[in-house]
């Protein structure tokens, strides 16, 4: 292992330990027994097939979104607009699926995935274009795009697409739903884990190769490290910004496959529940490495599901505190570890 | 008695000796100019005096006492002030607010703006600075902003005022009023130190001149009523006394055709005209040197030819989409320091393909062998290599990209002598392969030993181009050659510094 990856692993570990300590103090302050809380979480999340299944099911969308974001983050593009991008993508997936109901499932999936990818990608392309053309900060424009996209979907929904007196689209039909894990492995009985989890793992592997092994990935990271040098070397920086935004945003749309084809069968307003923001933290925790993202997604999903499990003892919002703490502590432990390694001339 | 005395000051950056045993004194109540090329060590010396850097050895003596400043704050307390080349002002603050920032007068718990304004306005009146202390800095011209910087020093009662290239940003009219200001400071008993490379300015304002070259003090002179010998001075600055070592032959029998042609190219950045109707032609198989004091349009010229700057007027004709460039600042512009050698080479590839660790390692090893790069292994990040070796990596990558027009901008700045020789021979090799090479440098020896033709750039325009029979006469006796060369260097020095007209 190189000193760089050692430093990265060390700072992630440090921040997790720190978070765990603060969480323990927090539970004590609430007046509960930490041992009791932890054992409850452990039992619920890790010992039952249902718990494991639910955790992996909740991790699936995080993997998709965080992988998309990682592409942008590697180019130093702070895409805060995943929430809007994934909603646009999922909405289009739901609408497309209804239109092509008669096609075979595999073809339907492919067409829907492409349509969703394009829709989310185009939403991502808008801040990229304003950045390239006019130097508008992508942080501001992507945040604002979230509001715009959600408002537009809301408007189209209510007036045209919603099933009467609901906030959801027409169902794609039960025979269009993906196979559940429990169909093959009864162990997962009752959980919503489905084939999309495998798809998420494949996407993570592909994004890993894209970022670390291809010409595109090297240019992407070069732009992230040093935009000026990239220009002098001859990398087409503007093209890289546009492409990484399109691809990164496009991937977030795959969340819709998990939710619509794998779970509910329709798009529903508010289904995403700010997962587009949580995914930022997930990617950050994994240092934007897609393989790491699989693990940090599972960690965040476990916290999310574990929060539900212990809701009787402590408010589940404590888990939100934990997610925030992880990010704060990783940012500070990063600089501590970096300076420790630098002082010793290791990196 | 000297007001400030430098005693055996040495400062090293890695293998680069920026100040080499410099000793001299600066008398009180004078204007003292410190002159030299870029990288000669002027700024390093001033940064040491101002407490921004510590010398490796030697000491500074002020009023007979050795002092060690560990921060500019301590230097300011000792009544030393510095106006940097890039102003450090807060645009949204008024002149008054900028001046008192960091040293605010207080009354009880609140700011005593009234007392501050009185003091600042008195200073403005005393030195005839002609500036309104309640105006916002963002509304001021560059020369006004410079006055704000000066006011900051006066407000803190600085006795020793250091100016780093003060006239670089000023128009001729502003320059003469700046000189009046300098004179009034001297008359009121202050000591003024000016870093510059404009020789006619030295003649106009200096009481004393010290010339630095390659980190050493090489020349000192008094300037009594403007009678300083400009020829002597320019020779000292560019080191014309040393002999040119190599005169590479260009293969003149091949057909010459222009590869790069610029016609009437102008470029405005902000409010400054960086290029002003510049025209030049560059042929295959030749090295065209560009001589000039930095900031006269060289970097803009390079940016245009390598396709980064597009907001220009005029025409640029190139055989490829862009020229390849070895930029002046390798860390900021030349490479991705987080990447290995092989990974830096990937960035030149078109299209998209997979890259295996083993092939990248092989690419690194090839560069290491071919360019004699001293690296502990093929996987090392380029950021951990020494300056000379980094430069070799950049050059290897740009040569490999195979463009027919190449720009070398200050290719040997801050590299050791061995790397310098290696880089020079690589440039000549590429020229002999038929490439067209634009060599931008402030090192006169480098320019004269490599260039087939030499253009002098001044204020965004080519002042004059020397072709090869003007630069080199083959059949003359050695002593005639030396004489010719001396004349040539004098001539170039004057063109560069704008003395000739």
Q: From residue B234, how far is each of B223, B238, B496 by CA, in Å? A: 15, 6, 10
Residue range B196-210: average pLDDT? 85
> For B8-36, how does the pLDDT look when each residue is reduced to its tens digit (9 = 90+)?
999 987 667 889 999 999 998 899 999 88
Confidence of residue B476 (pLDDT cuts 50, 70, 90): low
Closest chain A residue to B359, measured at CA = A213
Per-residue pLDDT tens over the stretch B49-77: 999 888 999 999 998 889 989 888 999 99
Entry field: residues in chain A:
347
DSSP string, B319-346: SSSS-EEE-S-IIIII--TTSBHHHHHH
What's the mean pLDDT in B143-162?
92
List the single best residue of B311, B336, B391, B410 to mutate versus A (max A Cβ within 10 A): B336
pLDDT for B479? 67
Give dist(CA B150, CA B174) in Å, integer: 15
Which segments of B140-234 are extended strands (E)? 160-164, 191-196, 208-213, 216-222
Residues of chain B with pLDDT > 90: what percent? 46
Say if the Cβ atoms of A232 and B348 lie within 8 Å. no
DSSP H or E segment with residue B349? none
Query: Over the range A216-231, which residues count as b (16 or more CB within 10 Å of their CB) and which as e?
Result: bbbbbbbbbbbeebbb
Per the CB < 8 A criterion, the answer to whether B305 and B260 are in contact is yes
pLDDT at A237: 96
Q: With respect to residue A314, please indicate whether it lies within any of the assigned structural domains.
A: no
> Is residue B240 pLDDT above 60, yes or no?
no
In what helix (H) or strand (E) does residue B103 lie, and over which residues does it extend?
A: none
Cβ pair B353:A230 closer than 8 A: no
A140 in a domain, yes or no? yes
Helix H or strand E segment including B206 = none
A222, B347: Cβ pair inside 8 Å?
yes
A66-70, A240-244, B249-253, B299-303: which range is least confident on average? B249-253
Nearest-Å Rg of the Cα atoms of chain B is 25
Q: Parallel, antiparallel, or unpaired for β B436-440 and B286-291?
A: parallel
Q: Compute the distance between CA of residue A318 and CA of residue A307 in angstroms, rounded to an integer.
A: 7
* Cβ-based contacts of B380 with chain A (< 8 Å): none
Q: What value of ipTM does the predicted structure carry?
A: 0.86
> Is there a domain that residue A119 lies in?
yes
**Residues of B engaging A, defined by a Cβ cutoff of 8 Å:** 306, 308, 322, 324-325, 327, 332-339, 343-344, 346-349, 351-356, 397, 401
Sign of CA dihedral A145, A150, A151, A153: positive
Residues of B in contact with A230 (CB under 8 A): 336, 347
Considering only CB atoms, B348 lies closest to which of A226, A228, A234, namely: A234
Q: What pLDDT sits at residue B83?
A: 92
Q: Which residue has the tokens 């940012």?
A: A331
Classify residue B135 as exposed, middle or buried by CB count within 10 Å of its CB (0-12, 13-18, 19+).
Answer: middle
**Is residue A54 in a domain?**
no
Longest CA–CA span in chain A (Å) reads: 66
Q: Do B348 and A233 touch (CB under 8 A)?
A: yes
Confidence tier at B242 by pLDDT (50, 70, 90): very low
Range of the domain at A278: 62-298
Question: Which of B308, B344, B356 is the closest to A231 by Cβ?
Answer: B308
pLDDT at B255: 66
Instruction: Say if CB B150 and CB B181 are below 8 A apart.
Output: yes
Residue pLDDT, tens place only, B336-364: 999 999 999 999 988 889 999 999 999 99
B257 contacts B290 by C-beta, under 8 angstroms:
no
Asked if the C-beta of A219 comes within 8 angstroms of chain B's C-beta atoms, the answer is yes
Confidence category of residue B149, pLDDT binned at 50, 70, 90: very high
Look at A234 and B356 and tell me if their CB atoms are within 8 Å: no
Indicate whether A255 belongs to any domain. yes
A186 in a domain, yes or no? yes
Q: How far is B319 from chain A (nearest CA, A)?
A: 16
User: Who among B343, B351, B401 is closest to A218 (CB)?
Assistant: B343
Give A230 to chain B, closest Cα distance, Å: 7
A139 touches chain B (CB under 8 A): no
Nearest CA in chain A to B330: A229
CB atoms within 10 A of CB B68: 10
Question: What per-residue confidence (pLDDT) applies to B244?
Answer: 43
For chain A, how many structural domains are there in total? 1
Mutate to test the interface with B, among A8, A222, A225, A232 (most CBs of B within 10 A): A232
A212 touches chain B (CB under 8 A): no
d(CA B140, CA B126): 21
Is B351's CB within 8 Å of A215's CB? yes
- Does the pLDDT at position B288 exceed 90? yes
Work out the minimum CA distance from B476 to partner chain A, whole angstroms. 43
Low-confidence ranges of chain A (pLDDT < 50): none
- Per-residue pLDDT band at B496 (split at 50, 70, 90): confident
Decide if A196 is inside a domain. Answer: yes
Tens of pLDDT, residue by residue over B86-143, are 788 998 999 999 999 888 888 888 888 888 999 999 999 998 888 999 999 988 888 8
State residue A216's pLDDT score: 96
In which band, very low, low, confident or very high, does the pLDDT at B241 lie, cut at 50, 70 and 90? very low
Q: Which domains occur in chain B, in start order?
A: 2-238 (3.40.50.300), 251-323+403-501 (3.40.50.300), 331-402 (no CATH)
Q: Residue A213: list chain B partners with CB under 8 A.
A: 354-356
Contacts of A145 (CB under 8 A, 6+ apart): A81, A84, A85, A123, A126, A127
- Helices (H), ranges, A31-137: 34-42, 49-74, 82-99, 105-134
To test the contact with chain B by mutation, choose from A233, A235, A344, A346 the residue with the greatest count of B C-beta atoms within 10 A, namely: A233
Q: Which residue of B has its CA nearest to A234?
A: B348
Does any domain span residue A151?
A: yes
Helix, strand, coil shares of chain A as percentages rounded to 5? 80, 0, 20
């Amino acid at each position: 292992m190189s000193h760089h990856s050692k430093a990265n692993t060390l700072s992630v570990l440090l921040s997790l330990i720190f978070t765990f300590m603060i969480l323990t103090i927090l539970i004590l302050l609430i007046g509960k027994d930490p041992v009791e809380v932890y054992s409850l979480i452990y039992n619920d999340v890790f010992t039952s097939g249902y718990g494991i299944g639910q955790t992996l099911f909740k991790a699936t969308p995080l993997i998709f979104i965080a992988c998309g974001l990682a592409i942008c983050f590697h180019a130093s593009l702070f895409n805060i607009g995943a929430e809007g991008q994934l909603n646009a993508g999922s909405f289009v997936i739901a609408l497309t699926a209804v239109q092509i109901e008669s096609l075979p499932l595999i073809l339907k999936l492919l067409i829907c995935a492409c349509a969703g990818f394009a829709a989310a990608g185009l939403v991502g392309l808008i801040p990229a274009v304003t950045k390239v053309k006019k130097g508008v900060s992508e942080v501001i424009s992507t945040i604002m795009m979230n509001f715009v996209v959600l408002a537009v979907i809301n408007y189209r929904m209510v007036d045209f697409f919603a099933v009467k007196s609901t906030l959801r689209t027409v169902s794609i039909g039960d025979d269009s739903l993906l196979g559940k894990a429990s169909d093959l492995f009864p162990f997962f009985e009752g959980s919503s884990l489905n084939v999309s989890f495998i798809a998420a793992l494949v996407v993570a592997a592909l994004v890993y190769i894209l970022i670390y092994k291809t010409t595109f990935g090297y240019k992407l990271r070069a732009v992230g490290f040093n935009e000026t040098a990239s220009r002098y070397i001859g990398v087409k920086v503007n093209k890289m910004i546009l492409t990484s935004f399109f691809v990164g945003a496009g991937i977030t749309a795959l969340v819709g496959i998990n939710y619509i084809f794998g779970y509910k069968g329709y798009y529903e307003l508010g289904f995403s529940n700010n997962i587009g923001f949580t995914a930022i933290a997930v990617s950050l925790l994994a240092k934007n490495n897609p393989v790491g993202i699989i693990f940090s997604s599972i960690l965040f999903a476990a916290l999310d599901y574990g929060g539900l499990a212990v809701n009787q003892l402590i408010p589940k919002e404590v888990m939100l505190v934990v997610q925030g703490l992880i990010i704060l502590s990783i940012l500070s432990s990063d600089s501590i570890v970096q300076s420790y390694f630098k002082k010793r001339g290791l990196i | 008695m000297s007001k400030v005395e430098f005693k055996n000051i040495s400062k090293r950056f890695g293998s680069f000796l920026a100040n080499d045993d410099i000793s001299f004194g600066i008398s009180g109540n004078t204007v003292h100019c410190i002159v030299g090329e870029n990288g000669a060590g002027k700024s390093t010396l001033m940064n040491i005096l101002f407490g921004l850097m510590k010398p490796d050895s030697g000491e500074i003596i002020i009023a007979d006492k050795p002092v060690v400043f560990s921060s500019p704050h301590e230097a300011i307390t000792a009544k030393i002030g510095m106006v940097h080349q890039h102003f450090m002002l807060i645009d949204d603050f008024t002149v008054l607010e900028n001046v008192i920032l960091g040293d605010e007068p207080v009354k009880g718990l609140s700011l005593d703006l009234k007392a501050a304004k009185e003091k600042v306005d008195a200073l403005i009146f005393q030195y005839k600075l002609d500036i309104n202390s309640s105006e916002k800095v963002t509304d001021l011209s560059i020369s006004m902003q410079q006055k704000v910087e000066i006011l900051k020093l006066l407000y803190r009662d600085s006795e020793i005022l250091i100016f780093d290239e003060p006239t670089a940003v000023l128009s001729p009219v502003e320059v003469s009023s700046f000189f009046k200001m300098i004179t009034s400071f001297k008359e009121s008993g202050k000591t003024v130190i000016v870093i510059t490379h404009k020789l006619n300015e030295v003649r106009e304002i200096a009481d004393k001149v010290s010339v630095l070259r390659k980190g050493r003090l090489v020349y000192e002179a008094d300037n009594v009523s403007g009678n300083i010998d400009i020829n002597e001075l320019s020779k000292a600055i560019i080191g014309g006394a040393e002999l040119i070592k190599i005169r590479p032959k260009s293969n003149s029998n091949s057909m010459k055709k222009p590869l790069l042609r610029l016609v009437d190219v102008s470029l405005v950045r902000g409010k400054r005209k960086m290029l002003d109707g510049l025209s030049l032609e560059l042929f295959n198989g030749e090295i065209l040197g560009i001589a000039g004091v930095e900031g006269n349009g060289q970097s803009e010229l390079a940016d245009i030819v390598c396709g980064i700057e597009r907001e220009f007027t005029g025409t640029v004709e190139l055989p490829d989409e862009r020229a390849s460039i070895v930029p002046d600042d390798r860390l900021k512009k030349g490479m991705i320091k987080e990447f290995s050698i092989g990974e830096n080479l990937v960035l030149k590839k078109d299209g998209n393909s997979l890259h295996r660790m083993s092939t990248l390692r092989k690419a690194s090893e090839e560069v290491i062998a071919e360019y004699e790069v001293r690296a502990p292994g093929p996987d090392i990040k380029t950021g951990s290599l020494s300056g000379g070796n980094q430069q070799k990596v950049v050059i290897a990558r740009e040569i490999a990209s195979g463009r027919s027009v190449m720009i070398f901008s200050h290719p040997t700045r801050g590299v050791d002598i061995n790397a310098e020789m290696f880089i020079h021979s690589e440039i000549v090799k590429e020229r002999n392969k038929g490439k067209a090479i634009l060599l931008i440098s402030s090192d006169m020896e480098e320019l004269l030993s490599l260039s087939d033709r030499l253009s002098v750039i001044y204020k965004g325009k080519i002042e004059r181009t020397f072709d090869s029979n003007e630069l080199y006469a083959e059949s003359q006796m050695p002593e005639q050659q030396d004489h010719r060369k001396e004349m040539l260097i004098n001539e170039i020095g004057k063109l560069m510094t704008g003395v000739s007209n």
